[in-house]
Chains A and B, each alone.
Chain A
Amino acid sequence: MTATADAGTATGWGGWFNRSRTIAKPGYSRWMVPPAALCVHLCIGQAYAFSVFNLPMTRLLNGSHQTPADWKLTQLGWIFSLAIFFLGVSSAVFGRWVEEGGPRRAMFTAACCWAGGFLISAFGCYVHVLWIIYIGYGVIGGCGLGIGYISPVSTLIKWFPDRPGMATGMAIMGFGGGAFIASPLSVWLMGKFHTATHVGVAETFIVLGLIYFVFMVIGSIIVRVPPAGWAPEGYVAPAQATRLISKNDVYVYDALKTPQFWLIWWVLCLNVTAGIGVLGQASAMIQEMHHVTPIAAAGFVGLMSLFNMGGRFFWATVSDYLGRRNTYFVFFVLGIVLYSLVPWTGAIGSVALYVLFFLIIISMYGGGFSTVPAYLKDMFGTRYVGAIHGLLLTAWSMAGIFGPVIVNYMRAYNVSHGVPKADAYNTTMYVMAVLLVIGLICNYLVKAVHARYHMKPEGEDRGGDTVVDVGVAD
């Protein structure tokens, strides 16, 4: 059996984090790995629920109402934006380190960053200095998001070579589901710490930070990597690589030189752009297009969140049977049809069809995130899939800017040019459909990676590890 060179000096606490110390012993069940991954993803998924703190944080000084010295909502909006930006940056920068250091080290680091971000932000609330929160939750917490997001991906793929889509889908579903836990928990905690002159945000941050640290550390304790050459019972790897499933690994920075990486980058970017714009404006859109009440609109947003989460598991699992490229083909074709039909639901006044179309669309938005790690594994092999996935997440950061901007500005432009509010989103829907047409073309152009990018056999590769025999029993 082989492992990386650091295995030989694996002693003390530093040694506990080494990849070699996480190699599974005989009898370890691979079904322990998804809950380990979920321990991390359910915690960092809190990011989607950060908005529950926005209004209370505008009343920190008085507790009951906003004073001129309190922070404005526009200032607070930057906290989430910074966190998502640093998610993309850190996953790209630390991807190779995560891959080579192993999942335990990465998960523990993510736990320290994520919990540390909360504790620093609590201090920022206490002294009422906003830049401390920008650094705490935005920068340090954002790095925890990025490292935590990619930390279990390649481990799951290696444990589930028979169902890589389903395995990564489970973890990435957790990221979508984290907000469901964080939102009511945060509201409940703020209620507990709330007094007539105090909103209880700082105390809530401290409690959340501690809870998340414990959960994420549990994940880092129970996670294991499979021994080299391990395969599930009864699983026989295909003898020959198929046209779109490679048996060869590609070095992380060589992947950047391939057209496949950039085509998949655009595939993800365009799929996310189409979904993220409507996700942010879902409440306003259904109220303006179908005149439903704000309470019903909030219910619609909740339903969309559920389909966003469920779609992550459903579509990634389906991709194990359909193939990754075909799954994205379904996303794009179905998306084009549904986006084109949304204005028609407004014209005939069918709320039911409108809701149905957007639930399918948002499930495919979530599915785009969860299917892409397995797509990368098919293209570039398992060796550096986590690191390559980290680089690809910059597409998410880009889409996070473009999606909402397209929806907001096109609506504003239409309304200012006399278009009734009920019809103001129609052009946007057609633009989204066009973006998906471009995505469809990019996906169609994805072919197998050329052999010149494949890594040489171990010992000759450029991964930076010196491979030694550590004699671990398995």
Chain B
Amino acid sequence: MADHKEGGTTTLHLVLAWLLVGVPLTLGVLQTLINAMKLFH
């Protein structure tokens, strides 16, 4: 299915959808990584 037909998914839809889940996940992973680095101190 093409991305830009009427009523379909736009690039903006895709970016927003992935940001919605990607941002909190990335923040959580970074926080865990910072804590995990204590293993090497």
Contact = CB atoms under 8 A, between A and B. Distances in A.
Interface of A: 24-32, 35-36, 38-39, 42, 174, 177, 179-181, 183-184, 215, 218, 222, 230, 233, 292, 295-300, 302-303, 305-306, 309, 355
B13 A32 contact: yes
Interface of B: 1-9, 13-14, 17-18, 20-21, 24-25, 27-29, 31-33, 35-41
Contacts of B39: 292, 296-297, 299-300, 302-303, 355
A177 B14 contact: no
Contacts of A181: 24-25, 27-28
26 contacts: A25-B7, A27-B3, A27-B4, A28-B8, A28-B9, A29-B1, A30-B1, A32-B13, A42-B24, A42-B25, A174-B25, A177-B29, A180-B32, A181-B28, A215-B20, A296-B39, A296-B41, A297-B39, A299-B37, A299-B40, A300-B39, A302-B32, A302-B39, A303-B39, A305-B32, A306-B32
Given A181-B25, A181-B27, A302-B32, A27 B5 contact: yes
A87 B6 CA distance: 40
A174 B24 CA distance: 11
A215 B20 CA distance: 9
Contacts of A27: 1-9
Nearest to B31: A184
B32 to A, nearest CB: 5
A306 B14 CA distance: 26
Contact of B38 (A31, A184, A299): A299
Contact of B33 (A32, A184, A306): A306
A301 to B, nearest CB: 8
A423 to B, nearest CB: 22
A300 B37 CA distance: 8
A299 B21 contact: no
A24 B29 contact: no
A26 B32 CA distance: 40
A355 B32 CA distance: 16
A289 B18 CA distance: 42
A215 B21 CA distance: 9
A112 B16 CA distance: 24
Nearest to A224: B9
B21 A26 contact: no
A386 B8 CA distance: 26
B40 to A, nearest CB: 7
Nearest to B17: A35
Contacts of B29: 177, 180, 306, 309
A123 B2 CA distance: 48
B17 A42 contact: no
B3 to A, nearest CB: 5
Given A25-B7, A42-B25, A32 B14 contact: yes
A176 to B, nearest CB: 10
Contacts of A184: 28, 31
